[in-house]
A and B are shown apart, each in its own frame.
Chain A
């Protein structure tokens, strides 16, 4: 066992009573199983398969504090944070470090949908039924999260209902000491349910933070989910995120992971398409400067025939940034008529930036159409020259081209107002402007 892993296991062993007593009861059942898995687990070393560029040992090595007794560490009131998307009315919720807080606008939708913390949910049966059913404990980070998780957010959309407004969840880090937040999100869409979920990551202060996240998505028959995750943290934040999704027949799921500013990020997406006629869209984008580290790892398991999946990840790397992408499309035997595409396009804009990419296909059925493409390159010199001949300065021309480069992912956003907002944020990010929303007090 690695030392960085051992410290958390020791923490668990020494404080098991406190962990259990401050936890939602449904979470305690899997805790021991996770502990057992971790007994023999090791963190994969850097350079090993699927971890070419990412050192989990290093990411987990600092001695982060974990808020086991669930003391409310949030120092600011929810009214001070405004992460509103212009012209987009959302039901707003916060997770301060690891504590769930609804805002004033929360729960006003009048829908049947509910967004609650695990500890105070009115649907404990939903939590008990679905918690830990999609996420596999064989994944070390997921097991670590499951061993330490005490609370989380349950988004539950009952059969046939839809949210009238998008649900916005804002993760904020704000503490006086080095802190690790064990975050858990469970999204359950029953048959024919619909939801749009937007999650934003922010940090405040200059402490070192680690967000250990597990997101579980269960999409019932003909359910439709849009899940957007925007990371706008800072260079001393580490994010280790595991997203596990399971799709039933006819469901349509869009997952969009956007990294605009961050420190060290590793996102794993595991999607199981279990029913026929499913539609899966997995999009991602990263704009990285200074020494940002962005690693996305995806796996789409086609376990049923007649499905469509589309995956596209785009990176722009500058300065000493490191980007990594590993994606796999797996088509199981007897799953004909799968149409799957996976794309990864990268621009390396500085001589010291580094890109690793590993697009993979694993196909066990013949009647499929699967393809992938990966490129690492630069902006088109001819296009830059052309724009300069038209009086556009080089930096502006570069910015325009990069914006255009990102448009595939931006255009994939299915919420008009959010798409405009994202376009604006990308533009600001590429110009190097601060991206704090105008009305927000989360200034650095």
Chain B
């Protein structure tokens, strides 16, 4: 075969692979047919009061919501992200949707709902569990089931929905809610504080090492609703917990809003590991529909020697706007951020982290891997700030971007600020396409281009993947290979 033929064949191969990849459907795009209580669309003080009333909340929480709502009204929609954010009509969204339980008993799972979670591969019934993982499942605005609660309670670990926590542990919730992400923080934090519906609450008491992975599974099901969940994790002195978060949504032509807040408080010598596999519906191949994922995630290493580690695999959402951050307040604290963000078709992701060094000898590591294909835009935006008092601090940042098409964009916007003479901050970033030599080498050894791309990208993302808990790593790896098949062009 002459060279031309080989080239033509290669091109045809690549084209067919691309077509195949483009037609790859979103697996979780089904709609479940259970009944949902939805309050009418629109947002005003009465809606905020209604949400609070539906959830039988105490007066102080209603006050908190109202303060946040009034503040939110004064804020403009932020436009600084490197995403093409359309004007969102906040009056066209319903702010509360609760799946109805036919039996009326919350402990009993609606069979339709159970089917949904079976389809998603999320086991809600303990006996079917293979590995020890406790799951809190949140559908639309309500937490529908939390497994393994009793076993955890024996150790003093509280793992429940935040609505239950407000009733059962009001002092704990009141002490910590809004302490890391105040409602004044930003537009979406204010919105969430006003209308948040459910989410998970975790409290690990002093000296307890949580024996199993805790996990939340978020699912948007109802149409024309938004999901505004709130997660609060408190790890008391000398404790440890690993928390996982997963999310999916049905395929719809409309854009749906997801504006969450995650707050994490890590006390002395405690360690929290927070992992996310974000797979919200990304819209179709023409960029129609998809979730706007606009979340505020922040943790504080309050005590000395504490550690907070964020790991995220971002493959979904039409727009992602998310910066899991760590405030390293205590001395000798450690912050970590590992991220793989994959965008294809018309997805836009603007994600990164902030590491705020306030304590002495604090250390942080940032590893961010961006992969952009199709017509997508993928940005890393990060900040490393070393306060004058944070002497001997150390940061290492690596953010690499891989471009798989000539119509996609990859951007890096880091900010570094160093205020003393004993800290070391390093940042490096590269942007390139998949190395043709590597693909050629793989081809030569009988590995198809498609598999070669998969291999190379998985190798490229390995630094992050190996930080994920095993159960998630498998899912994440599969997600990556599904999304990437044939994206080489």
Contacts and interface: CB of A to CB of B under 8 A. Distances in A.
Nearest to B424: A377
B388 A363 contact: no
Interface in A323-357: 333-334, 336, 346, 348-357
B185 interface: no
B405 A366 contact: yes
A359 to B, nearest CB: 6
A370 B418 CA distance: 25
27 contacts: A52-B415, A336-B406, A346-B418, A348-B418, A348-B421, A350-B421, A351-B421, A357-B416, A358-B413, A360-B411, A361-B410, A361-B429, A363-B409, A363-B411, A366-B405, A366-B408, A366-B433, A369-B430, A369-B431, A371-B430, A371-B431, A372-B412, A373-B428, A376-B416, A376-B423, A377-B425, A378-B422
A358 B415 contact: yes
| 4 A-B pairs with the lowest CB-CB distances in the bound complex, closest first | A366-B403, A371-B430, A377-B424, A374-B427
A371 B422 contact: no
Given A356-B415, A368-B433, 20 more contacts: A336-B406, A348-B421, A351-B391, A351-B422, A352-B388, A357-B416, A358-B414, A363-B401, A363-B410, A365-B406, A367-B433, A368-B432, A369-B430, A374-B416, A374-B428, A375-B425, A376-B423, A377-B423, A378-B421, A378-B422
A362 interface: yes
A338 to B, nearest CB: 10
Contacts of A348: 418, 420-421, 423
Given A373-B427, A373-B429, A377-B426, A363 B403 contact: yes
**Chain B facing A: main interface SS:** strand
Nearest to A364: B409
Which among A336, A363, A371 has the highest number of chain B CB atoms within 10 Å?
A: A363
B24 interface: no
Contacts of A354: 417-419
Contact of A359 (B408, B410, B429): B429
Nearest to B378: A363
A367 B406 contact: yes
Contact of B414 (A334, A359, A369, A370): A359
Contact of A351 (B388, B408, B413, B433): B388
A359 B388 contact: no
Nearest to B418: A376
A360 B416 contact: no
A52 B408 CA distance: 29
A356 B401 CA distance: 23
B407 interface: yes
Contacts of A367: 403, 406, 433
B404 interface: yes
A372 B425 contact: no
Interface residues of A, number: 37
Interface of A: 49, 52, 333-334, 336, 346, 348-378
A375 B429 CA distance: 12
Q: Which of B408, B420, B489 has the most CB of A within 10 A?
A: B420
A372 B430 CA distance: 6
Contact of A355 (B410, B417, B426, B430): B417
B345 to A, nearest CB: 15
B430 to A, nearest CB: 4
Contacts of A369: 430-432
B80, B430, B431, most chain A CB atoms within 10 A: B431
A46 to B, nearest CB: 13
A348 to B, nearest CB: 5
Contacts of A359: 412, 414, 427, 429
A358 B380 CA distance: 12
Contacts of B407: 333
Contacts of A353: 421
Nearest to A341: B430
A309 B211 CA distance: 53
B420 A356 contact: no
Nearest to B434: A366
Contacts of B406: 333-334, 336, 365-367
A52 B432 contact: no
A343 to B, nearest CB: 9
A371 B391 CA distance: 29
Contacts of A374: 414, 416, 425-428
Contacts of A356: 415-417
A137 B408 CA distance: 30
Contacts of B80: 49
Nearest to B409: A364
Contacts of A363: 401, 403, 409-411, 431
Contacts of A350: 421
B376 to A, nearest CB: 11
